[in-house]
Chain A
Amino acid sequence: MKLKNKDLLGLENLDKKEIQLILDTAGPFKELFTRSVKKVPALRGQTVVLLFYEPSTRTRNSFELAAKRLSADSLNVPISTSSVVKGESLIDTVKTIEAMKADFVIIRHSMAGAAEIVSRTIKSSVINAGDGAHEHPTQGLLDLFTIREKKGKIKGLKVTIIGDILHSRVARSNIWGLKKMGAEVRVCAPATLIPPEIESMGVEVFYNLEKALNDVDVIYTLRIQLERQKEHLLPSLREYAEFYAITNERLKYAKDDCLVMHPGPMNRGVEIFGEVADGPQSVILEQVTNGIAIRMAVLYLLAGRKQINSKD
């Protein structure tokens, strides 16, 4: 069993078995974190380039730590110090990186499809660390891993994703992943934040939070950004919170053992209240830990795949 593609661009492209392989592989990596030496030599000599066109300390740190714990060399190419500022095109930039003999290019970009273009342009393995409103596959995988770890399964669970579905790559990756693993997925937000025809992805749309949370196993809240106010999508964050924030009171709509998840960073008091984020049902910090394990698993599996193929 191995991954089919050289790249990880989205969960849309993975089948159930591949997702399972990644989740199964992440388990032993998580165990590694309990050791005093949290580093293994598996990717010794390989180079991982982190190309971040958007500032994201969390995701970048997580990938960087994953690479380092596999003994790979990692190189940061943040936008502010790279030639991107001088107007170099994405394609020219990644060709330069390929010329440095990078084995992996991990890309974060504000535009949907950016990772796809990079993967078409270069031979290195490309991992999408978030492209516009398209996908953020490692986030989706770490969320699946967290749910499976806590619930023992994914199939048959009811999951509600609340927030800016329209602009959320996290929502799209989670929808693909959860649907492939057999969960029932609901999305909930004011209609302005739900893309038309999102139902075609197999989700049920709710505008009313109480109904959306009825009997669910997992509540997944998304970060709401202040800009949405200026784009005529929301009157105010205060009003959003009034109808959609997850509070202890609202947790009661869901199952008693419902998990609460958030991809971070959180706006406490807007999409989630502190009492919930820090409460017993929250697995938000574990998501962070699991993120490293998932990213190690992805790097390891892609590395193995690549080398197997270069042999034949």
Chain B
Amino acid sequence: MEKILIKNGRVVNPDNKIDEVLDILIEGSKIKYLKKPLSITADKIINAQGKIVVPGLIDMHVHLREPGREDEETIASGTKAAAMGGITSVCCMANTNPCIDNVSGVKFVLLKAEKEGLINVFPIGSITKNLLGKELSSMGEMSKAGIVAVSDDGNLIMNAKIMRRALEYAKTFNLPTIVHCEDLNLSHNGVMNEGKVSAILGLAGIPREAENIMVARDIALANLTGAKLHIAHVSTKESVTLIKEAKRKGIKVTCETCPHYFTLTEKNVGKYNTNMKMKPPLRTQTDINAIKEGLAEGTIDCIVSDHAPHLDIEKNTEFNLAAFGIIGLETLLPLIMVELVEKKVLSLSEAIKKVTLNPATILGLKEGRLKKGEYANLTIIDPQMELKIGNDFFHSKCKNSPFIGRKLKGFAVTTIVEGRIVMENRTFVSN
């Protein structure tokens, strides 16, 4: 069996709170040793001096677009982009075409991932058939086939009775229910946050209450049903407060946010920049502050990319017509490093926890930890590496990033999935 030795890296493993210089020996697909400097020979030695070695990142909210929109992204291209971003596991949302609402859909994704994926892919099944918010999809069978959660993300269930039944049914199979919180009547035809900027630009606004109301409703329903609720992409101050309060009361609620919600505000929409258009919309500095506080005090459990690729023709158009969503797999880690770690919002270990251990725990995955005898999924980060984000930076099929033009610091330099080096020195390794 091939042996890989990672020497002298600063190992950060939130699972057992390790943050020290260690050597890691990988044998075959598993971690063999995790110790103080080892004097062992290996087939390959990676010098990780000055670098950070962490469990492979988990991005639990990704749109891989396959099946249906292979022009935007495929499981192959999406997992490639993820690997470059230091991500070893992604959870892909069910809103493909056809959507993942039955066993054959789940099997298709898993088979494709097995054949063409560069990293681990964990499918998420839909809550309702065809994402229509009406009839429950076969969560039990899909769970058996390998889904890790259910979600109608991209759509949502406006009917509270159906939502209640969905939560109860998902609970039967111990599946967390991931909810996109938006009162569709209130957000109506809105395309950006309702406020100062929308007033000036003459764009229809989405009031923050569209999110807040549904967060409150779903927390109430989680309380009613005792089911595991995971609130997707939290963007408002009030959502953070509601979730904090729910957690305090012991309601089984967890949540996530995305780098853009702690980095950008409605002002970044500027003069109709459609790469700043997503749902929920970019809010205000007050919200950024609340989200950072929520991350720091643990109200917000995870950070996800909500990677949503869209072609240039879907974005380079009238703001009202442009698609919602941005890509994010390749900027997830550097934005966490720059906006949270460097700015001392979170310690390195706390930050890493939000993209490793926490999502793993919520989804019941073994990943997200460095443990002797377990699969070797790990990422080596160069905290000093600076790169300017240009169009050529991305490996996703799409370039709809709001961060183009920025200089970021702290990038993954090596990604190892089940003992295979898939990316080294920011180049893909073909096995």
Contact = CB atoms under 8 A, between A and B. Distances in A.
Contacts of B319: 111-113
A93 to B, nearest CB: 11
A261 interface: no
B272 A196 contact: no
B202 A90 contact: no
A198 B201 CA distance: 11
A113 B313 contact: no
B196 A134 contact: no
Interface of B: 194-196, 198-203, 205, 207, 271-272, 313, 316-321
Contacts of A135: 202
Contact of A201 (B198, B200, B207, B272): B200
B318 A111 contact: yes
A114 B320 CA distance: 9
Given A89-B313, A117-B272, A196-B205, A112 B199 contact: no
Interface in A126-140: 131-135
A134 B202 contact: yes
Contacts of B317: 89-91, 117
A111 B195 contact: no
Contacts of B205: 195-196
- With most chain A CB atoms within 10 A of its CB, the pick from B198, B200, B203, B271 is B200
A172 B194 CA distance: 16
- With most chain A CB atoms within 10 A of its CB, the pick from B199, B313, B316 is B199
A215 interface: no
A131 B201 CA distance: 10
B247 to A, nearest CB: 31
A112 B320 contact: yes
Contacts of A132: 202-203, 320
A198 B199 contact: yes
A196 B194 contact: yes
Contact of B201 (A117, A134, A167, A196): A134
Contacts of B198: 195
- With most chain B CB atoms within 10 A of its CB, the pick from A12, A111, A133 is A111
A116 B318 CA distance: 9
A91 B318 CA distance: 9
B318 A201 contact: no
Interface of A: 12, 89-91, 109, 111-114, 116-117, 131-135, 167, 169, 172, 195-198, 200-201
Contacts of A114: 318
Contacts of B318: 90, 109, 111, 113-114, 117
Contacts of A197: 195-196, 199
B341 to A, nearest CB: 34
- With most chain B CB atoms within 10 A of its CB, the pick from A134, A172, A195 is A195
Contacts of A195: 198-199, 205
B130 to A, nearest CB: 26
Q: Helix, strand, loop or mixed for chain B's interface?
A: loop
B271 A196 contact: no
A176 to B, nearest CB: 9
A172 B271 contact: no
19 contacts: A89-B317, A91-B316, A109-B318, A111-B318, A111-B319, A112-B203, A112-B272, A112-B320, A113-B201, A116-B271, A117-B272, A131-B202, A132-B202, A134-B201, A172-B202, A196-B195, A196-B205, A197-B199, A200-B199
A286 to B, nearest CB: 27
A191 to B, nearest CB: 14
Contacts of B272: 112-113, 116-117
Given A132-B320, A135-B202, A200-B200, 20 more contacts: A90-B317, A112-B201, A112-B202, A113-B319, A113-B320, A114-B318, A116-B272, A117-B317, A132-B202, A132-B203, A134-B203, A167-B202, A169-B202, A172-B200, A195-B198, A195-B199, A197-B195, A197-B196, A197-B199, A198-B199
A77 to B, nearest CB: 17
A111 B321 contact: yes
A195 B196 CA distance: 9
Contacts of A198: 199
A91 B201 CA distance: 20
A172 B201 CA distance: 9
A89 B315 CA distance: 12
Contacts of B320: 111-113, 132
A95 B362 CA distance: 50
A133 B205 CA distance: 12
B117 to A, nearest CB: 34
A51 to B, nearest CB: 13
A202 to B, nearest CB: 11
Contacts of A112: 201-203, 272, 319-320
B195 A113 contact: no
A90 B196 CA distance: 27
A132 B189 CA distance: 14
A132 to B, nearest CB: 5
Nearest to B269: A113
Contacts of A131: 202
A158 B200 CA distance: 21
Contacts of B271: 113, 116
Contacts of B313: 89
A189 to B, nearest CB: 14
A133 B200 contact: no
B316 to A, nearest CB: 6
A167 B271 CA distance: 18
Across chains A and B, which 7 residue pairs bring their CB atoms closest together, nearest first?
A133-B202, A113-B272, A134-B202, A112-B202, A195-B199, A111-B318, A200-B196
Nearest to B321: A111
A132 B313 CA distance: 21
A188 B319 CA distance: 28
A27 B69 CA distance: 57
A189 B194 CA distance: 19
Contacts of A133: 202-203
Contacts of B199: 195-198, 200-201
